[in-house]
Amino acid sequence: MNMATSDLIALFSLAVALFALWGTEVSRVLDARTALQKGQDTLRLALDQLAQKIPQCLRSRQHVAAANGQRASAQALQAEVETDLPELQRLRARVGGIPWIPMFRGPAIAADAAVTLHEIEGRVNQLTAKYDAAWAEDEAARERIWAGVLARIPPRGGREA
Residues of the chain falling short of pLDDT 70: 1-3, 21-26, 103-107, 157-161
The answer, as to whether pTM is greater than 0.75, is no
Contacts of 21 by beta carbon, 8 Å cutoff, 6+ apart:
none
Task: Report CA dihedral (43, 49, 55, 61) to the nearest 10 degrees.
Answer: -100
Q: What is the pLDDT of residues 106-124, one digit of tens each?
A: 667 778 888 999 999 999 9
